[in-house]
Every structure is written in structure tokens, then in C-alpha cells.
Amino acid sequence: MMLRNGFCIFLILTLSACVNRPSVALLKEHDNELIVKEDFGFCKGYGCRYYMRTAITEREWQQVSRLFDAAAENAAQEREVIKKAIGLLEKIVGPKTDTDNDDAGAQIINFSLWGQKARGQMDCIDEAFNSSTYLFLLRKAGFIKFHSLGQPLRRGYFIDRWPHNTATIHEIGTEKVIKGKGHYVVDSWFHANGEAPEIIPASSWATGWSPEKK
């Protein structure tokens, strides 16, 4: 299976990053590759300025698998487990990609963008890319049963609010409509590396929702 048709191309053409434009060549290359936990692409440095390959070992994957041992009985319960799994995956991958000290949010004017610190920081493009990959791996492994992977979603066009992007999922059994019932964002940008992402209805998120406003 390939994570394509609306993920990387969507990022390239319509999401001009929280601030910066992602690397078109590298994202296209990622779009055409099989995504497996032993070798997958990872974005960091604001707008995927730094693209690299990383991996998750079998022992590490077992930690993730244990989170799903108690099977969720419904979609709401599964979303809570997905939060924990994304947070754990960030903790596992962080030291390998030098993003274990990634701060919550991203500076709108990032004066350290070209410095060493920026290599370990992520904006919403990076977070949307990586979270979508994690969701793909979890779904592919059969851990996610009540949701399918959605396309990254954008809100804000400078005029109404600052642009922001996120990964999404659709609750199976509901109509697959963007920002419709059953469409949820999985937004890890609000919190530091390793913390559980926010999973809320896309319709609420699109209006400018943030943890501070909830």
C-alpha cells in the first residue's frame, strides 16, 4: 500500500507550510515509496526542510502494540488509544531524528530557522506529515479498526487567521465528508514531542480551536 493521492501532493500544492514551503523533490520521492516501520520518511526543520529516513525496531513496535491489547469497543475509545500511540511513537522516534526536544507549537517568526536548533524543531507541516505516517503504520498493522486515514487538513489563509495544518482520520460508518460528522483532526503540533496529540472534530478545529480555547 502507498500513502499517496492527497497526502504528499496535497502538502506540496496547497499547504505552503505554517510558514515555509516543503521540499517538493523529497516529498514526491516519499510519495512513491512503500511505507513500512523498518524504513520510512520523516520531516523536520520547518516545512520539511530536513527530510530523513528512520525506522522502528520490533522491540519498539511491541511497546506500541501493547497499547492496543485491550481492544477498543467503539471509535471514541479508539481515539484515546491513538493519542497514546502517537505520543509513544514520537518518544521512540525523537532520539533517532534529533526531535526529542521539539517544543510545543512553532514560532511564527523563527529567527533560529537557519541555525542548528531548527534541525530538531517541527512546524505543523512536519507534524502533519509525520503523524499521517504514524497513523498509516498503525492502520496497516490492524491496530486501528474504527477509523480510516484522512487527508491532511488546512485552516487559515493569512487573511482570516494564520495558516495551520494537521493530520486527520475518518470514523468508519460515517459519511466521509471533509469537516463532516466523523472527521477528526490528529494535531500533535500544539504539544511538545512525546505528548499526546489533540483529537477533536475537524469542524471545531477549522474554526480556530486550540487547547487554550477549549
Q: Which grid coordinates are listed for 83?
A: 493519542
The packing angle between helices 124-140 and 75-97, to 10°, is: 120
Q: Which residues of the chain have pLDDT under 70?
A: 1-33, 106-117, 157-161, 213-214
Q: Which grid coordinates are listed for 172?
A: 468508519
Residues belonging to the chain: 214
Give the start-to-end residue ranges of the domains of the chain.
8-205
Of residues 49, 191, 166, the one with CA closest to residue 118: 49
pTM for the predicted model, two decimal places: 0.84
- Write out pLDDT tens, residues 86-131: 999 999 999 999 999 888 876 544 545 555 567 789 999 999 999 9
Amino acid 158: pLDDT: 47
Of residues 81, 87, 84, the one with CA closest to residue 104: 87
